[in-house]
Amino acid sequence: MAYTIKLTVNGAAHEADVDARVLLVHLLRDEFRLTGTHVGCDTSQCGACTVLVNGVAMKSCTMFAVQADGSEITTIEGLAGNGGMHPIQKAFKEEHGLQCGFCTPGFIMSTHDLFRNNSNPSEEEIRHALEGNYCRCTGYQNIVKAVQTAAKDM
């Protein structure tokens, strides 16, 4: 059964006809061509698909698109403005908080959500906030450093 949903993605209004079983990640990637949101596991284990739904980090591989009806979605593509990088993105680059980059959008979106409630998190709070995101390439120390740098820069 198809449903017509309306949502705002990165500040732009969208309307889409979706089957009830279409996941939000597939709507974003396949319909809206926002491929920065990655599909890593389809089981909510890795966090590569993390987006902001009404400002809160959500794993879009376990959320149906129909559940996002009426919501405001922010993807990694919508985080920065005016063609520049967001301070969190800059910090990840400066602190080498990425290697292959596959997991990076999820880490950045989760960091953005962390800062919504805590603008100066401790290392322990950072590690706890990022528990749902996995990086298969590197240790997490540079990711934590990137979050600490972003907190200072914001």
What are the domain boundaries of the chain?
2-79, 87-153
pLDDT digits (tens, 9 = 90+) for 79-104: 987 778 999 999 999 999 988 888 99
- The residues, any chain, with a CB within 8 Å of residue 83's CB and separated by 6 or more, are none
Backbone angles phi, psi at 71, to 5 degrees: -90, 165
What is the rounded average pLDDT for all residues in the chain? 94
Half-sphere exposure of 7 (CA within 13 A, CB side): 27
**CATH superfamily label, 87-153:** [2Fe-2S]-binding domain (1.10.150.120)
Whole-number Å distance between alpha carbons of 128 and 39: 22
% of the chain residues with pLDDT over 90:
83
**pLDDT at res. 31:** 96
pLDDT of residue 14: 97
Q: Which amino acid is at 70?
A: G
- Return the CATH architecture of domain 2-79: Roll (3.10)
pTM reported for the whole predicted model: 0.92
Cα gap 152→113, rounded to integer Å: 16
In whole angstroms, give the CA distance from residue 137 to residue 101: 9
What is the per-residue pLDDT for 11? 95
Q: pLDDT tens digits for 39-70?
A: 988 788 899 999 999 999 999 999 999 999 99
Q: Which amino acid is at 2?
A: A
Measured in whole angstroms, the distance separating CA 102 from the mean position of its chain's CA atoms is 12
